[in-house]
């Protein structure tokens, strides 16, 4: 049972380059999330998707775009990478039913922008 799978695990980009972080879940969850983790900042929500075809901005959406391709997949795109986007990125999913609160996280993608 894979849970939430993120690719790649590591990436180095030059300033101005673009890339897409991939995320897939096999738990038939409705909701999917992208977070970034920075030292001293905890996990901050970038974008959120309540269901296929819907997305919503989180706390720090600037510089990012997302696509909820289908129920399983939720991708995060950096169109023009900046050093400030150096971070560890986590994808998560949850069933998002009333009373069911648990979100499952992937292993993370460590991104460095030079």
Partner 1 sequence: DQQVKQNSPSLSVQEGRISILNCDYTNSMFDYFLWYKKYPAEGPTFLISISSIKDKNEDGRFTVFLNKSAKHLSLHIVPSQPGDSAVYFCAARKNEKLTFGTGTRLTIIP
- Residue ranges in contact with partner 1 by CB under 8 A: 4, 31, 33, 35, 40-45, 48, 50, 58-59, 90, 92, 94, 96, 99, 101-108
**CB of residue 20 to partner 1, shortest distance in Å:** 19
Report CA-CA distances (Å) from 98 to 30, 45, 95, 101, 108: 12, 21, 9, 8, 27
- Minimum distance from residue 106 beta carbon to partner 1 (Å): 5
DSSP, res 85 = G
**Separation between Cα atoms, residue 46 and residue 76, nearest integer Å:** 9
Closest separation between CB of residue 3 and partner 1, Å? 9
Given the complex with partner 1, which of 19 and 103 has the nearer CB atom?
Answer: 103
Alpha helix (H) residue ranges in the chain: none
Nearer to partner 1, 14 or 28 (CB): 28
């Amino acid at each position: 049972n894979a849970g939430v799978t993120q690719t790649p695990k590591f990436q180095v980009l030059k300033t101005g380059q673009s890339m897409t972080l991939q995320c897939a879940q096999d738990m038939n969850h409705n909701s999917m999330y992208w977070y970034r983790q920075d030292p001293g900042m905890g996990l901050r929500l970038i974008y959120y998707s309540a269901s296929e075809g819907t997305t919503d901005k989180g706390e720090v959406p600037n510089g990012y775009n997302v696509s909820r391709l289908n129920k399983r997949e939720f991708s995060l795109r950096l169109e023009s990478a900046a050093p400030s986007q150096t971070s560890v990125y986590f994808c998560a999913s949850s069933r998002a039913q009333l009373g069911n609160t648990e979100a499952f996280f992937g292993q993370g993608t460590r991104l460095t922008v030079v």
